[in-house]
Amino acid sequence: MIGGLGKGLAAFAVSPAFSAGSRPLTLAATALEDPTTKYPKPPFKQQVQPWPALASKMDPKPDHGEKSYKGSGRLAGRKALITGGDSGMGRAAAIAFAREGADVTINYLPAEEADAQEVIQLIKAAGRKAAAIPGDLRDENFCKKLVDDAARQLGGLDILVSNAARQQIHKSLEELTTEQFDWTIKTNIYAPFWLIRSALPYLKLGSAIVATASVQAYDPSEDLVDYALTKAAAMNLVKSLAKQLGPKGIRVNGVAPGPIWTPLQVAEGGSTPDKSFGKKTPMGRPGQPAELAPIYVQLAANEGSYATGQIYGASGGDGQP
């Protein structure tokens, strides 16, 4: 009897795939890719743009998933606000979210309007509602208005991606003025606090908050003192808020990129001009924003329901916390 039962269960387990009138499921093979040669490697062309710089003028241009990202409806009907959505990880997330079925509002600085309009067109091309709201996140009143306007234009809000940040190189602490320090702190710490606090009344059960941290949070460079400390703060904000908001069914997570090819790397003062950017990683190259897009999607999607208080890294092999 036991043997017969075992055979019956085995037959039941496989029968759905081979039932009468059906055919076995066949999928096209996915070609393997060499991650070390998938994207451009250094040396790069020496280039500097006026701060904050535009992705559209970089050589080579960063890949945000414009041609490569394919959606599957994982965020259908969702409504997202992404700061720094004109370029870098914010742009990659905006494209991916739209192709996964979400309506998206992006925030950016007025000087980045050209890049932002490219993103808006990509969101609309995906058949989703798009809104563009330029402005400086150092202004508390603007942060509140940004959230309210995004929720009004999208008809709600259930994903907040706090991604915008300021990064400037200072070789010594003596070079770092109080004004510059305050600019970094306001953009990278105050703004996420204002944005999240303003968004909470809109965020329902099942909503998600995603912050962009950095490898700098736990392996800081000597010339990014102020920036690194803000990214460590972002990492702790994620872990603390996850405990506070978990009982309310709101998840809070972070993404910690390593060296990624974005306008930060060519903006005047944003980084030390370096034609070998990314060469020291085990991959031998910098990452592209498109390579992080799936992480942002996973952290916003319902499938990631048990992930909160987590920091997801993508640094080409340099290690994570």
Active site residues: 227
SS3 for 251-306 is EEEEEEECCECCHHHCECCCCCCCCCCCCCCCCCCCECHHHCHHHHHHHHCHHHCC
Whether 85 contacts 94, CB under 8 Å = yes
What element of type H or E holds 42?
none
DSSP 111-139: GGHHHHHHHHHHHHHTT--EEEEE--TT-
- Strand-pair partners of 79: 103
Q: Cα dihedral sign for 144, 147, 149, 151?
A: negative
Q: Other C-beta atoms within 10 Å of 198: how many?
A: 20
Q: Are 269 and 296 in contact (CB under 8 A)?
A: no
